Structure formats: structure tokens, C-alpha cells
Amino acid sequence: VSEPLCFINGDFIPASQAMVPVHDLGVQRGYCIFDFLRVTQNVPLFCNDHLERFYRSAKEMRLTLKQSKEELKTVIGQLIQKNQLPDSGIRILLSGGASPDGYQLVQPALAIIQQPLTPPADEIYQNGYTLVTYPHQRQIPHVKTTDYLMAIWLQPWMKGKGGDDILYQQNGIVSECPRSNFFIVTQSNTIVTPARNILKGITRKQLLEIAAANGFAMEERDISIDDIRRAKEAFIGSSTKRVIPVNRVDDIEFGPCKDDSVTSRLYDLFFQKEKQAIHDAS
Amino acid sequence: VSEPLCFINGDFIPASQAMVPVHDLGVQRGYCIFDFLRVTQNVPLFCNDHLERFYRSAKEMRLTLKQSKEELKTVIGQLIQKNQLPDSGIRILLSGGASPDGYQLVQPALAIIQQPLTPPADEIYQNGYTLVTYPHQRQIPHVKTTDYLMAIWLQPWMKGKGGDDILYQQNGIVSECPRSNFFIVTQSNTIVTPARNILKGITRKQLLEIAAANGFAMEERDISIDDIRRAKEAFIGSSTKRVIPVNRVDDIEFGPCKDDSVTSRLYDLFFQKEKQAIHDAS
């Protein structure tokens, strides 16, 4: 098996040789942003949306890219061409660079890596995820930083609680999962998702558009634990996982996903949109 | 000028060649701990205290070192011997390792780097630092992680406010500066420093011992903004900076440090302890 190539500081090199200086602020101080997009049938899905967000993250963190969006898009295309990993993930990282004093930002370092991606097992789309809530608010939440310290630290705790993923909450208001957005469906079939203190996902953006185009009622507002208790359905959305139903949040049971549920219809509509995107790109 | 050597994954190599894989969890997910100690006259100051804390941080984050404390101490001694940087800082980093799925912890990666250190200018010990408060609570605060995202992000804001450093607060209770502990001296000459939601510094530990040994009243408890307003003095303590007086916190003025102040006496006692430590090691 030949190993995939990465794009790092302007060169395509084998993944195992892709290195960053130990003095880089991404290593020393966790000062690093990224974006992650799914590749299906060699098509980088919703690539423009991901690049838009990546450049917004970079600007917010005062990291100045030498490359334009179009240039990055070309590099991503080259990487896909060279690696031939039709079902994979592409991660674009931008860190503060190798700072002489370990604190001042310097010329940022760019790395783009591609790795095979195993999709979630089919039964997960039926049985759903169990979420366990944890009191935490991500810092600078609107920026896609590499800060996943809490998420990784909580893994054994989460597994001990029987959870498949964590749902962050603060003072009874939930925000997001570490790598996906959270949604509920009310008794009157309104889809609700938090509007603040979160990272706005690209799948979330697509689902909002799908809901608007297909006559679903949709609200972006705070969700309390009581709102979840009163809800009919709950689900999460992410670039890797599309739409996954939630079967339980702490002690609140939803059970497996029904074929006529809003979650199920949204999944189908999202899958169609993805197919259209693949078709348009081919 | 020959460049200093680093110790990385078991080898001594030139600093500019010290690299970590881009797939390391320290880069990908900010999952990395460290410790930092000052070297003076080629002596690693309070090295045992720093190593104790480093191993506690590692344990808390489920990062298992192959090396014992004694072995790391030997490596630090070899690095000092080889580099001949009598006034410098040594940083010991331990990250989650190059994880295949970018989430699961694997064998951690160890790096030890040494860099020259410029001490703060003499007038800083007279004029002191201006602190500006910012509402933030570091995550997993009792562990020395590489999470300095907020601290670096706030640098332009802090400078715009005329600050020399940031003092984190939440709901009017202050905790710490990003790289140092905070202390006040009450009107009755009691030294007070926060006990919770902070990283317990090695200089803080030494100052507590010095205070106890020299008949100062000392309390570890929450400090409110009102407590600061009523205080006689304020100062910070850190391994790099020893004891630096605080001349202002937001709108609360303390002015420059007086020779007969508690801050000044603590600085002198700390400096003596440091000299003793150098003498004992030589």
C-alpha cells in the first residue's frame, strides 16, 4: 500500500514525512485552525463552503495565508488526483508558525492532509447515537480551532456513561457536540438548532437550506434541556456523518429512528443534495 | 552561532531539525502538556518541583511516559552540558502522539527544548505590570496543557488597553494570568492568592513556603475584584519572571513598588532562595 501524499509548506510529500517544527505555535501554544471536508467518489463535498469558513477562521485568528482560495482549491484537486482515495477526508491546517519567542505570531504554516474515511455503520442511521451532556463552553466557538482538549480528555468518562458522543451544555442550555451540530424536532415538527456559542457547521448550513427549500419550519435559537425533554426527535449533523439520529440525551429517550420521521426525511434530502453535488462536479 | 540541541524521541538533534509529525494529536487536537523551567548559571531551578508537576499533568491527561523522573533529570543535565546556555529556559513537551484516527491516544511523543531567556528589564521590578481583566476560565486549569489560544488571541486587545498582561476573571472572581499566578497583599499585610481554577505555579509554591518560613500571613482563597480594590499591593509570580509588582488592575491603581513593601521583601527572599538553590547544585 503506497502512503498518501500531503501538501505541506508548498510541497507534496509522503504523509509519514509530513512534519511541523516543534517550535511552531500550533505545537507550543495550541494556536492552530483547520477545516475538514469529506471526499466522496473523488469529489470534495461543499468545498467552497469549507474554504469560505477556513478563510474566515484564519482572518479571525490573524493568520494570513499566502494562497488564495482558488489556489487552495487547485491544491486540493491535485491531492485528490495524486492520492486516489475516493472516500476520504481532507484536513487543511494553518498554525501560528515557528515563533522565536513562542508567543508572537509569525508567518503561518499550512498543511493539507488526506486520509481514508470509514463511513458510520448502516445500523447507526437506524439505532442512532446516545449523547451525554457535559458542562463546558468551547473558547472562541465561532472559529474552527484545533482545541479538542476537553473532547479527547472526556472520552473514557463518556464511554463509562454509555455515550457515543458528548453534548456540551452550560447552565442548562446546550450548544454542540465536539465535532457536530445538534438539532431537535419539536412536537409541531419545527426543526430547532442553537444559533450562538457554537461552530456553524457546513452540514448545518446545508440542512438549513434544505429545510427552507422543502417547507420545513426551522428556528435558530437556544435549546434548553427542557426543550429536549419536550422534543419529538433529536439528531446531529456533521461533514463526516451527514445526519445521525439521537436515541437518547442523558435520561431523555427518543428510541430508534422511524422511517417517516423528520430526521429520516432530512437525511434523504441531504443525501440527494450530496448526490447532486457529486453529479455537478463530475 | 551554533544552534542549541533538542532532545526529541530519544535523540539529541539541532533545534531547527526538531520536528513533530503533522498527524500528532498535539498538532491536530491541541492534546499536549508541558512544563517550563528556568536555567540560571547552568542550574535548572526547582527542577524536582517542575518534574513532579509534569508527571502529574501527564497522568491526569492519560499520557504515559517511558522515562522515569530520574531519567528525564539526566537528559536535562545532558542538554545543559551540551548547549552551554547558562541563562535559558527548558521546555518539556509531551503530546498524544501520531494517532491513526486523529482522536485516540497512542504512544506519547516527548520533546525537550532549551532556548536562551532574556530576563525582564530592571525597571519592570520597580514600575510593575499593568493587568487587564478578561472574562475567561481556562479548561482543565490544574493541568499545564499547551492551551494558550485565548492568551495569544487577546494580545492585540490587551495592548490596546495598555496592558502588560491579562488577568482572567469569571463573575468577578479572578483566577490567574496566562503564564503566572496572581497575589494581593491586604491592608493587614496578609498575602492572598487563589486556591482553585488555576494552575499551581512552582514560584507560587516557593512563595508559600517562603511566607510560612518568614512569618508572613498567607491565605489561599478566592479573590474578588473588590478584594483587589481594597488591597495594598498586588503582584504576580512566575518561573521566568520571579516576582513582579502590579501597578494597576483595570482602573485600580497601585503605583510603583516601594522598597519596604511586602512585594519587595518577598522578591528579595525568593532571590535568596534561588541563590541558595544554585549554590546547593554547584
Q: Which residues of chain B have pLDDT under 50?
A: none
Residue-level pLDDT at A282 = 80
Question: What predicted TM-score, i.e. pTM, was given to this entire model?
Answer: 0.96
Option in B22, B113, B146 nearest A6 (CB): B22
Q: Where are the beta strands (DSSP E) in chain A?
A: 5-8, 11-14, 19-21, 32-40, 43-44, 88-95, 109-116, 129-135, 165-170, 173-174, 176-177, 180-185, 190-193, 217-220, 223-224, 233-238, 242-249, 252-253
Q: Could you give the dihedral angle defined by the CA atoms of residues B7, B12, B18 and B23, in that order, rounded to the nearest 10 degrees?
A: -60
Residue-level pLDDT at B101 = 87
CA distances from B278 to B51, B91, B275 (A): 17, 19, 5
B90 contacts B47 by C-beta, under 8 angstroms: no
Q: Do A25 and B152 touch (CB under 8 A)?
A: yes
Option in A27, A140, A156 nearest B26 (CB): A27
A98 contacts A24 by C-beta, under 8 angstroms: yes
Burial of B131 (0-12, 13-18, 19+ CB in 10 A): buried
Burial of A65 (0-12, 13-18, 19+ CB in 10 A): middle
CB atoms within 10 A of CB B75: 18
N-term to C-term CA, chain A: 27
Q: Do A27 and B152 touch (CB under 8 A)?
A: no
Residue-level pLDDT at B232 = 97
- Over residues A33-85, the pLDDT tens digits come to 999 999 999 999 999 999 999 999 999 999 999 999 999 999 999 999 999 99
In the structure grid, which three cell numbers stand for residue B255, read together? 503605583
Q: Do A156 and B62 touch (CB under 8 A)?
A: yes
Using CA atoms, how far apart are residues A82 and A62, in angstroms rounded to an integer? 32
In the structure grid, which three cell numbers stand for residue B122, read together? 530592571
Q: From B22, which residue of chain A is nearest by alpha-carbon distance?
A: A19
Q: Do B22 and A23 touch (CB under 8 A)?
A: no
Residue-level pLDDT at A24 = 96
Residue-level pLDDT at B282 = 81
Instruction: Tell me the pLDDT of chain A (282 aa) as tens digits.
Output: 579 999 998 999 999 999 999 999 999 999 999 999 999 999 999 999 999 999 999 999 999 999 999 999 999 999 999 999 999 999 999 999 999 888 999 999 999 999 999 989 999 999 999 999 999 999 999 999 999 999 999 999 999 999 999 999 999 999 999 999 999 999 999 999 999 999 999 999 999 999 999 999 999 999 999 999 999 999 999 999 999 999 999 999 999 999 999 999 999 999 999 999 999 998
Residue-level pLDDT at B1 = 58
In the structure grid, which three cell numbers stand for residue A135, read together? 458542562
- Over residues B157-179, the pLDDT tens digits come to 999 999 999 999 999 999 999 99
State the smallest CA–CA distance between residue B274 and chain A in angstroms: 24
